Structure 1
Amino acid sequence: MRGSPQAALQSLAARITQEISQVSSSLMTQSCKNHFNVSHLLACCPQVLAVCLCPQLLKDKSLPLDVRLRAQSLLESCDGGSVGAYTPSSGLHRVRQSIAEFITRRDAGAPSYAKDIYISAGSQMAMMVLVKMMASGQGETPAGVLTPAPCPPKLPMLLDDAGLTLVPYRLTEERGWAVELDELHRALEAARGRCEPRAIYLSNPGIPTGHMQDRKSIEEVIRFAAAEKLVLLADEVYQDSVYGAGSEFVSYKRVLFEMDKHLSDTVELVSFHSLSSGCMGECGLRAGFMEAVNMDAGVMHYVDTLMCFDISAPVTGQLALDLMVNPPKPGDASYDTYTQEILLTRATLSQNAQRAWHFLNALPGMSCQPAMGGIFLYPSLRLPAAITEQAEALGVEPDALYCQRLLQEEGVIVGAGCQHGDAAAAAAADRRHLR
C-alpha cells in the first residue's frame, strides 16, 4: 500500500480478478468497481465517428441521414478531409467555434469566442499547461493555488509536478460541503510567507463530494478572487450530470458576466469541461477544453506555446467534443434516440445516487451528504480503533487499509479519502471518507 493508495488498490484488484478467472471455486465472480467513471458514448457519436474513420460509409443508407451529413461536415474541417491529419495545437477551429456557441447558449448570451477556447487531450492536460504557466517566472517565494479539501485525486500531484504549493481550504461537510468565505480567508492568511497565492481552484459540481454551488456562493468566491487578485480555476466537468432536487448548474462565467462591469471586465477566469465526464462521456477518447476569460493576451500566447509541445488532442476526441456541444436537434433523424438516451442516463444517475445515499446512511458508523451532481458519493465513517492501530503499524492511512480489506473480503473497489487531500483534517476529526 505504499505510494498512491488508488494505484495500489487497482493493482490488487487486477491480481484478484486474474485469480478469480483461474480458480472457479472462488467465492467472488468479479470485482465491483465503484470508484471511477465508466460511462460510454451515446449512439449518435460512435456512428458519426465510424463514418469519419471509414468515409466509404458516407454512402451507407442504413445509417441515419443526419449522421452521414454530420460526418461529412466534420471531415471537411480536417486537413485533407482525414482524421489522420494533425490539427492546430489548440484544436480544430470548427470544433472551437462549436464550443464557443455552446457556451454562449448555456450562459444566456454571455459572449464566448473561439480564440479563447483551447482543446486538449482531456481537461487535466489543459489544467497542467495552465499551472505550469503560473509556476514560471516565480521569484524566491513559490506560487500557490488555493485548493479544496477534499479535492480531485490527481490535483495535488499535478500542482506538485508544476512546482506550485497547494494551499488547502476545508469544505464544510455539515452544510453539504459548502465553500465558506471565512475559510478561504483563513487559508489565504495561513499561506502568507510560505508561498504567493496566485489562483483558487474550485470544482462545481464538486469532485468527489457531489456538492453544488449556488449563485450566491459563486458571487462570494468571485469577489474574494477579485479582492485578492487570484485567477479563478473553475472545474465544471460534471455540469451535464446535475440531478439533485432543486439543483441547477450555473457556470462561473455566467455569474461573472451578470455581475458589475468592474468585475466582469477584470476578473481572470479559466473554466474547464471534458468529454469524459458528461452524459456521453468516453474517457478513452481523451478530449477536453478550457475557456480563458479576461486573461492577458501575452500570457495566453505562452499557454498556446506550451500546448504546442503536445501537438494536438486526438482528432477523434475533438470530433466527439463537437457532437457533445452540438448534439442532434429536433427534426434530425437521430434526435429522438439521442434524447431518450440522455434522459435515461440522467434518470439512472439520479436513482443510483438516491439508492446509494439511503444505503450508506443506514450503515453503522457511516453518514453521507446527498450528491447534487457528478457521479460520486463521499461518505464519512468512523473506523474501529483496531483498524487505526493496524494501519499505523503498517504505515498506511486507515481509510486506505479499510478499502484494501473491503476489496479482499467483498470484492468491492472504492476510493480512499486520503487520496483527496483529506487525511490530516480527517484524522483530527476522527472520521475518514470513502469515494
Structure 2
Amino acid sequence: MALRAGDQGQVAMNGLKEKVLTLDTMNQCVRRVEYAVRGPIMLRALELEQELSQGMKKPFTEVIRANIGDAQAMGQKPITFMRQVLALCVDPELLSSPHFPKDAKRRAERILQACGGHSLGAYSVSSGIQLIREDVAQYIERRDGGIPSDPNNIFLSTGASDAIVTVLKLLVAGEGRTRTGVLIPIPQYPLYSATLAELDAAQVNYYLDEEHAWALDVSELRRALAQARDRCRPRALCVINPGNPTGQVQTRECIEAVIRFAFEERLFLLADEVYQDNVYAEGSQFHSFKKVLTEMGPPYAAQQELASFHSVSKGYMGECGFRGGYVEVVNMDAAVRRQAVLSDLAAKAKLSEQIFQRGFPDSLQPVAGAPCLLSRACRLPPRAVQRAQELGLAPDMFFCMRLLEETGICVVPGSGFGQLEGTYHFRMTILPPMEKLRALLEKLSQFHAKFTLEYS
C-alpha cells in the first residue's frame, strides 16, 4: 500500500522504510502458485510435530506423513550398494578401506574417472557427465527391449521435477489468446499446475475417468482441446503414467491412441514416467511412451516430439533427497536441443560482453558461439611490453601471469593461439556459475585498471 506524503515523512523520521518486496509487489505469477503436497496441511503438520516435541497432549503420539512420496522418510531402507558407491565417490580415500566390497570400488572408480579432476565436486557439461548419460541410455535400451537410445538425447537433472520445469519453460511463449496452453490430467501432481502458474501459461484440464479406474479417454482430450482454443494456443500434452495421484497404469492401446491424438493435433508430448517401477497389480504392465512410439513406426516414430522423465526418487531406490533424474527427448528440433544446453551459456556470454565493454571498451568481439572468449583487453602500455621482454616473456603471457599471481584467475595468453604481431589477447572460458563468473569478471576488470596504471 502506498504511503501518503505525511506518512512518508514520519516513516523517515522513525528510520523505517516500506519493504521493497511484499505480497503486493512480488511476482504475482509466483503468488498464484499452489503446491498441495507442501501446502497448509503440511505446514500444520510441522506445527503439530513441534507441539508434540514440547509435550503437548494430542489424541495421537506422532504425525504420520502420508502426504508425499518420500519412501525413506517412511522407513524404506536405502540399497546398500548404491550408498557404498556414493560414499566412495564423495570420499575417494575410502577406496583403500577394506570395509567396502570390490564391485562397489570398481563402480566408484569408473565414475570418478569420468569426472573433471577425478572429483565428484567438479563441474560437468550442462547435460550431465557423458558416462552417466551413456549408462542411462543403456538402461533405457534394456527396458525397451533393445530399442536404441542416444546419450546425446539424454539430459541429467536434479530430480525429474527440474527436467519437467525446464521442458515447460522451452514450450511456454506468447500472451493473451496466443499464450501457450498445456493439457494436464485432473487429478494431477501439483508440480504441473504450480509451474504453469509461475510461467503464466494456460492450464488446460482434461479429466481422468474415475468410474473406469481413472482411465484416460481420448474423447476427453478432444473436448479439453476444443474448449481451450478459444483462450490460448495449446502446444503440449502431459501424461503421468503410472498415474500420480491416481495410481492407474495406461494400457498400450491407450498410449497408442494418445500418440495419434498428439500427432494429429501437433502437440508436444510430455511423459512423466517416474513411477514406472511401481507396477504391482495383476495384469498391469508398464509401457514406455518411447517404446510404443518407436514401434508404431512412421509417420509417428519419425515426427512426434516426446520428452520422457524418470527419477531415482521413486521405485526400488527411493532416493528422494539425492535429487537425481533425467529427461530423454525424441524428435526434438536439433537447434532447440542445443539451446536447452546452451541457454545458460548465452546469458553468460552476454554478461561477459557487458562487463568487458564497460571495463575494456572495444576489446571484445560479440561472443556468438563456444563457451569461451578471446579478448584484446591486453592493450598493454609500452612499459609493460618492455618489462615483459626483460623477463623473456611474451607481453600477454606477462599480463596473464600477473593476473594469476594477484587474483588467482587463470586465463590463457593469446600468443598460445597465434595473433597479429603487436596485438595481445587472452582467452577465458565462461563456464563458471553465473554469480562466480560475475565476480571473476569484476575482479579481472579491477586488475586491468591497476595493471594499466602501474605501467603507464
TM-score normalised per structure 2: 0.65
Residue 66 of structure 2: aligned partner: 34
Within 1, Cα distance between the matches of 2:139 and 2:343? 26
Residue 24 of structure 2: aligned partner: none
Residue 124 of structure 1: aligned partner: 161
Given residue 10 of structure 1, which amino acid in structure 2 is its aligned partner? M
Within 1, Cα distance between the matches of 2:299 and 2:109? 44
Greater alpha carbon shift after TM alignment, 110-119 vs 136-145: 136-145
SS at match of 1:148: strand
Residue 44 of structure 2: aligned partner: 12
Residue 57 of structure 1: aligned partner: 94
Within 1, Cα distance between the matches of 2:161 and 2:113? 29
Is residue 67 of structure 1 aligned with residue 99 of structure 2? no
Residue 82 of structure 2: aligned partner: 45
Greater alpha carbon shift after TM alignment, 140-149 vs 2-11: 2-11
Number of residue pairs aligned between Structure 1 and Structure 2? 310
RMSD of aligned alpha carbons: 2.0
Residue 218 of structure 2: aligned partner: 181
Counterpart of 1:287 (choices 320, 324, 340) is 324
Within 1, Cα distance between the matches of 2:343 and 2:248? 33
Counterpart of 1:23 (choices 55, 80, 87) is 55
SS at match of 1:131: helix
- Relative contact order (C-alpha < 8 Å, sep 6+): which is higher? 1
Specify whether residues 110 and 310 from structure 1 end up closer, same or farther in structure 2 by C-alpha distance, changes over 3 A only.
Answer: farther
Specify whether residues 178 and 139 from structure 1 end up closer, same or farther in structure 2 by C-alpha distance, changes over 3 A only.
Answer: same
Residue 200 of structure 1: aligned partner: 237
Q: Is the contact made by 1:39 and 1:279 (CA closer than 8 Å) also made in structure 2? A: no
Within 2, Cα distance between the matches of 1:307 and 1:31? 42
Within 2, Cα distance between the matches of 1:218 and 1:202? 9
TM-score normalised per structure 1: 0.68
**In the TM superposition, what are the counterparts of 1:249-328 in structure 2 within 5 Å?**
249-306=286-343
Q: Is the contact made by 1:143 and 1:165 (CA closer than 8 Å) also made in structure 2? A: yes
Q: Is the contact made by 2:308 and 2:329 (CA closer than 8 Å) also made in structure 1? A: yes
Is residue 153 of structure 1 aligned with residue 190 of structure 2? yes
Q: Deviations over 1:255-288 (max 9, x none)?
A: 0111132111111111000111221021111121
Q: Deviations over 1:182-236 (max 9, x none)?
A: 1011001001121111010000000100000010000000000010011110000
Specify whether residues 157 and 48 from structure 1 end up closer, same or farther in structure 2 by C-alpha distance, changes over 3 A only.
Answer: same
SS at match of 2:299: helix
Q: Is the contact made by 1:119 and 1:290 (CA closer than 8 Å) also made in structure 2? A: yes
Given residue 147 of structure 2, which amino acid in structure 1 is its aligned partner? A
Gaps of 5+ in 1: 312-435
Residue 168 of structure 1: aligned partner: 205
SS at match of 1:301: helix
Given residue 66 of structure 2, which amino acid in structure 1 is its aligned partner? N
Within 1, Cα distance between the matches of 2:318 and 2:278? 11
Specify whether residues 10 and 310 from structure 1 end up closer, same or farther in structure 2 by C-alpha distance, changes over 3 A only.
Answer: farther
Given residue 164 of structure 1, which amino acid in structure 2 is its aligned partner? A
Within 1, Cα distance between the matches of 2:57 and 2:300? 65
Within 2, Cα distance between the matches of 1:225 and 1:266? 11
Within 1, Cα distance between the matches of 2:264 and 2:214? 24
Within 1, Cα distance between the matches of 2:290 and 2:330? 8
Within 1, Cα distance between the matches of 2:321 and 2:266? 37
**In the TM superposition, what are the counterparts of 1:100-119 in structure 2 within 5 Å?**
100-119=137-156
Q: Deviations over 1:299-352 (max 9, x none)?
A: 1122223466999xxxxxxxxxxxxxxxxxxxxxxxxxxxxxxxxxxxxxxxxx
Structure showing greater radius of gyration is 2
Within 2, Cα distance between the matches of 1:60 and 1:310? 44
Within 2, Cα distance between the matches of 1:4 and 1:94? 35
Q: Is the contact made by 2:95 and 2:105 (CA closer than 8 Å) also made in structure 1? A: yes
Specify whether residues 309 and 49 from structure 1 end up closer, same or farther in structure 2 by C-alpha distance, changes over 3 A only.
Answer: farther
Q: Percent identity?
A: 42
Within 1, Cα distance between the matches of 2:347 and 2:133? 18
Is residue 248 of structure 1 aligned with residue 285 of structure 2? yes
Given residue 249 of structure 2, which amino acid in structure 1 is its aligned partner? M
SS at match of 2:275: coil
Q: Is the contact made by 2:269 and 2:306 (CA closer than 8 Å) also made in structure 1? A: yes
Q: Is the contact made by 1:129 and 1:306 (CA closer than 8 Å) also made in structure 2? A: no
Q: Is the contact made by 1:275 and 1:286 (CA closer than 8 Å) also made in structure 2? A: yes
Is residue 223 of structure 1 aligned with residue 260 of structure 2? yes
Within 2, Cα distance between the matches of 1:24 and 1:279? 37
Q: Is the contact made by 1:79 and 1:87 (CA closer than 8 Å) also made in structure 2? A: yes
SS at match of 1:156: helix
Given residue 83 of structure 2, which amino acid in structure 1 is its aligned partner? P
